[in-house]
Amino acid sequence: MGYVKRKMTIVKAVTCPVCGSLCDDIELTIENGRIVKVKNGCAMCESKFLSHNSEHRVLKPLIRKNGKLVEVSLEEAVKRAAEILAEANYPILYGWSSTSCEATRVGLELAEEVGGVIDNTAVVCHGPSILSIQDIGISSCTLGQIRHRADLVVYWGSNPWSAHPRHIERYTAFSEGRFQRSAWKGYLTKIKASIAKKKIESALRRVFFRRKPSVPPQPRMELPPAMFKEGRKLIVIDVRKTKSAEIADYFMQVEPNKDYELLQAFRALIRDQEIDVDEVAGVPVGYLEEVADLMIRCGFGILFFGVGLTMSKGKLRNIDAALSLVRDLNMRTKFVIMPMRGHFNVAGANTVFTWQTGYPYAVDFSLGYPRYNPGETSVTDVLLRGESEASLIVASDPVANFPRKAAEHLVKNPLIVIDPHMSVTAQMADVVIPSAFVGIEASGTAYRMDHVPLPLKKVVDPPKGVLPDEEILRRILSEVRKLKRKMLVEAA
């Protein structure tokens, strides 16, 4: 009598499909086929899980007719997409980092079938890291090992507090490892003190209304005492004082675009060489010597690097130097290095690309076999030179974040988008096929930044008629094969 029993289920150990940390301890509360509560996740995680059925979703396949996107059946959209791809000379297939490995695998088959260039979002983030790893090699490990053993954590050109919010808490400084204690209490005290200091300063400013802003503190000529404490230490090296830098034991501010010089100076110091100059990248050599000494004295060090290093001046050569630095450090102690991957499955896309073609990104199938040469076969460069004839974009929004000239060429030619959202790219597309959210409405596999594969769960059903990326791509692939066979028969 007026009482409706609410069907509520709790799903535990869900993997979060947002960033490369792939936190797999999320608890979701599902009510009537909708996620209503997210536990353990960060703000980005919560927002993604809660908004899976927001108003920005595309629910019906669309095709551009007379300049307007109109609703069509899935069969028609798939057929149109297949026609575009089969007829194109030099099509590009881009995205892949925010979908499952299974979908990427079908995408690679499709790229081979249509003789296109297939690339993932590594091209605009950690592509340089991959190039350097191929040049130098990498000594890495899993995040679990770092959690339990690392006593020196360095973040270089990355701001995990904002970009990978639970990274510090789950894997590094704030995590409770078997052999390393969590350092969160110390940081809490530090943050409280810093907040109090800011409050006092602002109160003083208000009292002495016309008082000039306080003079910036002079750099100290020695390392802070926190660097000599027992246990875990956190160093952040960046061009600006980020939120992560504020909680670090030591923050080293490097002049913009001078990371290469700083890394090389560290390498020389670790090899006991003397440096002719007094200052490198705005940091006195005395400081560098002390930090280099700390790196050598640690038991297990880890260097995480982000896009601040891969995309600043020097690009892949910055990573060259970082990888070589870690190699040099391993002559004296145990040190590992890891890129902070952005998209939740960009490492997976690289892995699938590699086991299918031999190359991790920017693979060109135009000659019938895979070729790889970033700069020549990378999607951004192909677009900037205006060489492609059609594009398929899966789970990415290149129009919003590619260089303008590249985006202009992308939208000038036939464009197919497979995406759950009406993204900027989808708005410019000729064919839009809605897909289910991988990790929420479709299951699959994703690789964490340390190349550990984790299962993505299907927790709710997708909207009616909406298929996962993998299924849509399979349908396009079979349609392309039909068309190719027909073309062969006609040619014969």
Partner 1 sequence: MINLYPLKEFEFPIIAECINPDIFQDKTREDIEKLKIWEGNRQRKLEELFKVKATKTEDQAEETTITIRGDVSKVRKIGAKMTNGEIVIHGDVGMHLGEEMEGGTITVHGNVGGWAGSMMKGGTIEIHGNVGDYLGAPYRGSSRGMRGGKIIVYGNAGNEAGAYMRKGVIKIYGNTGQFAGLRMHNGTIYVQEDCEGRAGACMTGGKIVVGGFLESVLPTFTIESVKKNVKIEENERVEGPFYLFLGDLTENSKGKLYVLKEKNPHLSHYERLL
> Is residue 490 within the footprint of partner 1 (CB under 8 A)?
no
Tokens of 131: 């190039």
How open is the CA angle 38-40-6, to the nearest 5 degrees?
Answer: 30
CB 30 within 8 A of CB 460: yes
CA–CA separation, 492 vs 215, rounded Å?
A: 82
CA distances from 39 to 13, 19, 25, 29, 50 (A): 10, 17, 9, 8, 11
Closest to partner 1 by CB, 85 vs 466, is 85
DSSP state of 166: T
Query: Is residue 473 a contact partner of residue 103, using CB atoms and an 8 Å limit?
Result: yes
DSSP structure string for 335-366: EEEEE---BTTHHHHHHHHHHHHS-SS-EE-T
Vertex 348 angle, CA 315 and 13, to 5°? 125
Using DSSP's 3-state secondary structure scheme, residue 310 falls into helix
Pick the closer one to partner 1 by CB: 44 or 275.
275
Residue 273 CB, shortest distance to partner 1, in Å, is 4
260 binds partner 1 (CB under 8 A): yes
Instruction: Give CA–CA dist 222/244, Å, rounded.
Output: 21
Q: Could you give the string, one character per residue 325-354, with x where binding to partner 1 holds by CB under 8 A and - elsewhere?
A: ---x--------------------------
> With CB under 8 A as the contact rule, which of the stretches 67-75, 158-166, 201-209, 312-320 interacts with partner 1?
312-320
Residue type, 305: F
C-alpha radius of gyration, the chain, whole number: 25
Q: Which is nearer to partner 1, 242 or 413 (CB)?
A: 413
User: Could you say which residues in the range 398-457 bind partner 1, by CB under 8 A?
Assistant: none
DSSP element (H, E) containing 71: strand 68-71
For residue 374, state whether it binds partner 1 (rule: CB under 8 A): yes
Nearest approach in angstroms of CB 151 to partner 1 is 25
By the rule CB under 8 A, 265 interacts with partner 1: yes
CB of 277 to partner 1, least distance (A): 5
Check binding of 313 to partner 1 (CB under 8 A): yes
Q: Is 363 in the site for partner 1 (CB under 8 A)?
A: no
Cβ-based nearer residue to partner 1, 207 or 367: 367
Which one among 48, 80, 147, 267 touches partner 1, defined by CB under 8 A?
267
Q: Which stretch binds partner 1 (CB under 8 A): 75-83, 96-104, 263-271, 341-349?
A: 263-271
Residues 272-291 touching partner 1, rule: CB under 8 A, are 273-277, 280
HSE (CB half, 13 Å, CA atoms) of 322? 33
Among 134, 162, 194, 427, binds partner 1 (CB under 8 A): 134
C-alpha span between 419 and 425 (Å, rounded) = 9
Query: Rule CB under 8 A: which residues touch partner 1?
Result: 89-90, 114-116, 131, 134-135, 260-261, 264-265, 267-268, 271, 273-277, 280, 313-314, 317, 320, 324, 328, 365-368, 372-376, 385-387, 389
